[in-house]
Amino acid sequence: MPYTFDASTNTIYVCPSRGIKVIDIYTKHMQDARKTNPCKSVEWTKGQLVMGDGAKDKYYDVYIAKEPSSPGGHYAILLKVVKKYNDGAFEEVFGLGCECRGWISDLTVKITN
């Protein structure tokens, strides 16, 4: 399984050998095109994204929500940025460039198993 979600601690643990599938939901490009974030009405909870980087785990503060309408009873997890981390793994998950180029405060992605 690419990730596990611990609802009791609101933490997502990413399997370092499998990674995660990430889908852009709302990016700087979309904001610049004056599109509205489709997740504005989602109820967000502060949590953590934990990713392995070699022998060291990295912890990132994020907002987490379950996707409200997923087919077949399965759901995806929505992630929204809390703050910038000038870190390659964080930037890759959120589709950011070096030193968080493309950062917006509403940056939102969806991860799936």
Tens digits of per-residue pLDDT, 49-85?
999 877 889 999 999 998 766 555 566 789 999 999 9
Nearest partner of 77 among 3, 27, 16, judged by Cα: 3
Name the residue with tokens 């940056």. Answer: 107
pLDDT computed for residue 39 by the predictor: 81
pLDDT computed for residue 101 by the predictor:
93
- pLDDT (mean) for 5-28: 84
Q: Which of 107, 111, 92 is nearest to 13 (CA)?
A: 111
pTM: 0.84
